[in-house]
Chains A and B, each alone.
Chain A
Amino acid sequence: MTNQYDGTEALIYNALRDFYSDKQIDEIIDAYNESGNNQYAFWMAIDRDVYKNRDFDGHLALMHALKDCNYNEGACLIGLDPKIARYRTLDEQIKLMHAYVEHEGSGIYNIATDVNFLQNKTVDDQIEYMNFLKKYNYNKDAIEVLFDVENIDKSKEELEALVKNRAVEEDIVEKLKKDVNEALNSGINETNGNQSREEAVDNVIDEYKILGVSENASYEEIQQAFKTKTEQLLSEDNVDVEQLKKIQDSFVTITYHLGKEVTLNDIAEEISKMMETKNIHRKTNNNKVITPPRNRRYDETTSDYEKYLEEYYQKHFSTVVKESKNEKILGTNIYKPRDRRPYETDEEYEQFLEEYYKDKDFSNIPTGTKHKIKKRRKNRKHRLLKKLLTIATVAVIGLGIWFNTKFGVDKDPKPTQTVEQSVDSPDFNQPVDNDNEEFEKQLGKEIDEILKTSDNKDVTKLTIGDTVKLKEGTRYYFDSQKASPTGRIGNEYTSPNSNYLINSVALVDKKTKQIIGVSYDRALSVKEMMEMYGVEKDDCRVVGLIGNNGKLNPNDALGWVVLGKDNFTKTGTINDYKRKVR
């Protein structure tokens, strides 16, 4: 049994724990760690398509194959591709990953993943096509010829003839493009002496001038300018190769500068910016959270429970149930008003509406601007972008939400729980660096921050059945009134690294030291208890009966602990605990 993972390892563990044994997960994590925290290795480790379509051995083999491919992005995507898993064996899929790396270039990725190729050709055919394109410098038109459905049954000779005709036309430009790309990739920009690629990007303004477009030009405008200039030069009797090269250089540099390949860093930055304004939302979210009534207690008579329910509904739902629908107004926690009753006059209903809306706060209704869609097209990189967005989200705002929603106590979410959690989710303004070495560091740091600032330290959010870690030195007592301390966390029986289960909660009056109320009810949160007993958070101590045997049973408890601001961190629920033990 292992669950001592932190950071990215914890993410991998959580993604796989329902599918693999702990030993198997260890192997996947080891393979991930071998990558030096590479993001593609991370994707490969957690991707649902991989563990759904391949067994554990296949998953591990793909992790190792990715390593052999030097954690190449395209190879990773080929490894994750469910279409390939459907039409190719594991060995063939790995073969395609290697072939892609060898032939990395425009169009090659599509040959590996295109469903026509997968359905109608063998893996060796696919690799042969890749070799075939290499002969023509991966010429765009040559690729089109291969992808033309009408050509799918043509012989290799026929295809070669078609490709040759097309390839010659653009050969000069393609060759130039390749030269400049190679020069840029090797870190030396030929037109700028020993300037590095990064420095070249700094001077990108000059590149716009060379192409004759403004700095604000869209990518399409830049593409068009490049095409026009190239065509213009090629139409002249004596082609100015140097000038052609310059234009090519500018186009490649600008494209790089524009970041057509969106990076994780970019997305994370954007999310971080949004998070900066999050504190404001906390202040505006003053709407009352309505929670369901607790279950009947084992020692409660029917009439007592009915009385409790009556009081509960009177207190919490008198305005909601009678005057509103169980449906909220868009983007708010305000319920829509009830419909007009059959016997109600217009005047009466308007009066009701006026009264209903009088005290409602509509300050957080989402505002928006309407736009027409001019154009739409298929996003070929949808899968890649979605992964980047998800990972960036996990890295910036994620783990608090994982703990509170995905592994929370309640399988049936309470009406407003999601809104509340997201509003209170941890605040991070640190962008995540795309650099692989930095990635793990950033993630680890952020997880720490999340644990420091999240709801996981809010005592009112605790519910019986939650698991907590307790600070070393925290005293535990024989009873909830702290009559006699029986030990402290960190002694020979109680490790500060262990998870402790909250078996019951007592509220104790700070002044009189008397017990206000005790609950053994899993459905009741500390906040609800406080509401039920009519006490404020500041006026009472929350004392939890802790146990560590995975059972909600007060007889197996270790002792009572005062749950304060700094001495506990919520780590999960009894369900998580049982899953880990299993």
Chain B
Amino acid sequence: MIKEGEIITLDNDEEYAVMQEVTINKQPYFILMTVEKPVKIKLCIAEDNDEITLIDDQKLIVEALSKLI
């Protein structure tokens, strides 16, 4: 499982900082952000066995971001 405060490198060599865990509709997600330019913000679900699923849903990302404030 990933944790806030980590930097993870994925199998496609993309590197993300794990920013914060948020729960939407009872489902926990993690907000990820690249640490280098270009800055990208992603949402993922942490799976078992050191795997994550990157979620493409922009609406969910915006909702997750809104939970930061």
B12→A371 contact, CB < 8 A: yes
A330→B33 contact, CB < 8 A: no
B33-69 interface bits toward A, Cβ cutoff 8 Å, 1 = contact, 0 = none: 1111111110011010011111111111111011011
Partner of B25, one of A274, A419, A421: A419
B10→A258 contact, CB < 8 A: no
Q: Say whether, besides A366-B56, A368-B54, A270 and B39 are in contact (CB < 8 Å).
A: yes
Cα–Cα, bound, A157→B61 (Å): 54
Cα–Cα, bound, A367→B56 (Å): 6
A370→B51 contact, CB < 8 A: yes
Q: Which residues of A contact B25 (CB under 8 A)?
A: 328, 330-332, 419
Partner of B36, one of A219, A285, A328: A219
Cα–Cα, bound, A267→B31 (Å): 13
A379→B41 contact, CB < 8 A: no
B6→A331 contact, CB < 8 A: no
Decide yes or no whether A161 CB sits under 8 A from chain B.
no
Q: Which residues of B contact A327 (CB under 8 A)?
A: 26
Closest Cβ–Cβ distance, residue B54 to chain A (whole Å): 5
Q: Which residues of B contact A368 (CB under 8 A)?
A: 44-45, 53-56
B65→A374 contact, CB < 8 A: no
Main SS at interface, chain B: mixed
Listed stretches A70-78, A236-244, A381-389; interface member? A381-389
B41→A271 contact, CB < 8 A: yes
Decide yes or no whether A195 CB sits under 8 A from chain B.
no
Decide yes or no whether A582 CB sits under 8 A from chain B.
no
Closest Cβ–Cβ distance, residue A198 to chain B (whole Å): 15
Decide yes or no whether A118 CB sits under 8 A from chain B.
no
Decide yes or no whether A19 CB sits under 8 A from chain B.
no
B66→A366 contact, CB < 8 A: no
Q: Which residues of B contact A371 (CB under 8 A)?
A: 10-12, 51-54
Cα–Cα, bound, A425→B36 (Å): 28
Closest Cβ–Cβ distance, residue A381 to chain B (whole Å): 8
Nearest B residue to A329, CB-CB: B25
B58→A281 contact, CB < 8 A: yes
A375→B26 contact, CB < 8 A: no
Q: Which residues of A contact B53 (CB under 8 A)?
A: 368-371
A389→B69 contact, CB < 8 A: no
Q: Which residues of A contact B27 (CB under 8 A)?
A: 330-331
Cα–Cα, bound, A422→B22 (Å): 14
Q: List which A231-267 residues lie within 8 A (CB) of chain B.
A: 258-260, 262, 266-267
Listed stretches A28-36, A87-95, A396-404, A546-554; interface member? A396-404
Decide yes or no whether A393 CB sits under 8 A from chain B.
yes
Partner of B58, one of A267, A274, A376, A418: A274
Closest Cβ–Cβ distance, residue A331 to chain B (whole Å): 6
In order of increasing CB-CB distance, the 6 nearest A-B pairs are A366-B57, A422-B63, A375-B9, A266-B39, A368-B53, A259-B37
